[in-house]
Structure 1
Amino acid sequence: MPVKTTILLVDCNEDTLLSIKDGLESYDRSYEVDWVKDASECLNYVRQKKPDLFLINIMLPEMDGFTLMEKLKMTDAKNAAFIYMTAKYDYDMIKKVNMLTADDFIAHPINIPELILRIQKIIIWRCYRKRPKAKD
């Protein structure tokens, strides 16, 4: 039986949330996708569950995605992977995302096949990093 990968979507646009959730779950049944509409709901969610991966819109109403990630890094969810969603896809945004140690980012409108590839890359990389080191 495949291991479930829990993904938490954080976006204030319900249509975007449902579209991404449907796209991911229809592609791979091992993805368990939950969603919340703002930073407060996200912080409450992580008190109960620990997602493997966060997909966070940078532009949230009460707190931007960067600040949310900083807060999440101070919780038990600190070891989760982070992918940012952004409508502003330029050098300054890429630099900021990389400085904050997010695992990846993707531009709006979200292309589901591209998102799936990015998620798979992160899962593979994290599995590789967890492997025991070879002894000489």
Structure 2
Amino acid sequence: MAAPRDPSPAVTPKNHLLVVDDEPTVRELLRTALRYAGFDVNSAATGREALNLAAQHPPDLVLLDVMLPDMDGFEVIRRLRAQPRSPRPGERGSVPVLFVTAREARHDRINGLQLGGDDYIIKPFDLEELIARIHAVLRRTRGESGSTLTVGDLELDPEGHLVTRAGKAVQLSPTEFRLLHFLMANAGRTMSKAQILQHVWAYDFDGDPSIVDTYISYLRRKVEVQEPKSIHTVRGVGYVVRGPRP
């Protein structure tokens, strides 16, 4: 956990982080490094304390350990996702969560991201890389700029974080939204599972593509409620979004 040699560019005070870890040395290290990098930082030693702080002072991003004394980080993210949150203009409703933990088993990583985590970092970590990943998650989750994407009767507004199908709103999780945004931004082009992992999760799961299939099925249940279908499987290659054929 070497100290960063050159901190990331200063960010505005609105970037408020919540560090959740039961190890005092880790909390102090992260508080010091992240404040030095320009963030406003609160910390919690338990899941319950984290949930209370998140409700009282909604963070822009949570750094979450899995192993906590009262409940594990997976339960914390479930409860965080259930908490109401009023986003600022251009933000999504769910707070981004970056797991920082010693739990390195592949099934733990997959579980963390399937529950809605935005990244998963294994301890011991490099502070420069951690700060870079925080900036990357914040960029991805603050609402990508750009025009509304339209494929058939399916529309996605990146700035408003809105999706509609035939004029009816479709409620997506943050990860589902990023996945659909990536596919629609590349409409007509087949995206491999490796490309999807890289652009949607920025993580390769040691080459395991199963989470892509899982989230495609989630999307289909919400988006493909009527004909024509928009999300297509190209066997042995990946997935493509395309409009109805003439």
Q: What is the TM-score when the length of structure 2 is the normalising length?
A: 0.50
Q: Determine whether 1:47 maps to 2:55.
A: yes
Whether the 8 Å CA contact 1:83–1:103 is kept in 2: the answer is yes
The one-letter amino acid paired with 1:37 is A
Other-structure match for 1:17? 27
Task: Give distance in 1, aligned partners of 2:108 and 2:131.
Answer: 21
1:47–1:127 Cα change, 3 Å: closer
Q: Determine whether 1:123 maps to 2:138.
A: yes
Identity percentage over the alignment?
26
Deviation at 1:101, TM superposition (A): 1.7
1:83–1:134 Cα change, 3 Å: same
Other-structure match for 1:91? 106
The structure with the largest alpha-carbon Rg is 2
Other-structure match for 1:112? 127
Whether the 8 Å CA contact 1:50–1:76 is kept in 2: the answer is no
Larger helix share, 1 or 2? 1
Deviation at 1:128, TM superposition (A): 4.5
Q: Determine whether 1:36 maps to 2:36.
A: no
Other-structure match for 2:18? 8
Aligned positions of 1:74-85 closer than 5 A: 74-77=82-85, 79-85=94-100
Deviation at 1:117, TM superposition (A): 0.9
The one-letter amino acid paired with 2:30 is I
1:64–1:128 Cα change, 3 Å: same
Per-residue CA deviations over 1:80-104 (Å, capped at 9, x if unaligned) read 1001112122321222122112000
Deviation at 1:126, TM superposition (A): 2.0
Instruction: Pick which of 84-93 and 44-53 moved more.
Output: 84-93
SS of 1:73's partner is helix
Q: What is the TM-score when the length of structure 1 is the normalising length?
A: 0.87
Structure 1 residues without counterparts, runs of 5 or longer: none
Structure 2 residues without counterparts, runs of 5 or longer: 1-10, 86-92, 151-246
Considering only aligned residues, what root-mean-square deviation do their CA atoms show, in Å?
Answer: 2.0
